[in-house]
Amino acid sequence: MGRPFGIPIVVSPTWFLIAAFITIYFGGQFDHTRLGDRLGAARYLVAFGFAVLLYLSVLLHELAHSVVAKHFGLPVRRIVIYFLGGVSEIEREPETPGREFAVAVAGPALSFVLAGIFWGIWEALPSTTDSSPTGLLVVIYLVFAVWTANLVVGVFQHAARLPLDGGRCCVPSSGR
């Protein structure tokens, strides 16, 4: 798919399953809403747009891990985006607990930054009324959805359980 920072990106075929699920599920959530009534079947296109934006958020999360790892001289084989998220394939462990912590915390930190950026955009968008343009309603929906998704990813990844990032953050403090 590409090689940002020289890191190969691979999209597993299983990602398309979750993209289809997100599209069908979130498209259905528009039923009997002002936006859904205006969009009709195009609501599934908006839901697919959310799936793509979520994928890009996961990719940026994993890139954050990988870029920090490369900064410390660790070889990164690739990033794989799959059914339940993504994984940075870093070929060896960081040499110090501080470096391991930095690599582990980079992803959730970026997710929180993205959440903050999208929250700021959401706050800056105008209020809506029944006569608001459909395009504005779509933008507000997508910005809100990406904001909350990144917040959830950041919080979830901070859970102090392996293999989540929060568990990786605890490993350095335990002294291995």
Positions annotated as catalytic residues are: 62
Q: Where are the beta strands (DSSP E) in the chain?
A: 9-11, 76-82, 85-90
CA distance 38 to 67: 42
CA distances to 40, 50, 171 from 72, in Å: 50, 33, 18
CA distances to 25, 44, 51 from 22, in Å: 5, 9, 6
Residue 2 has what DSSP assignment?
B
Q: In this structure, what token pair is assigned to residue 172?
A: 């350095």
CA distances to 29, 73, 96, 105, 146 from 102, in Å: 38, 13, 10, 5, 25
Q: Helix %, strand %, coil % for the chain, to 5?
A: 70, 10, 20
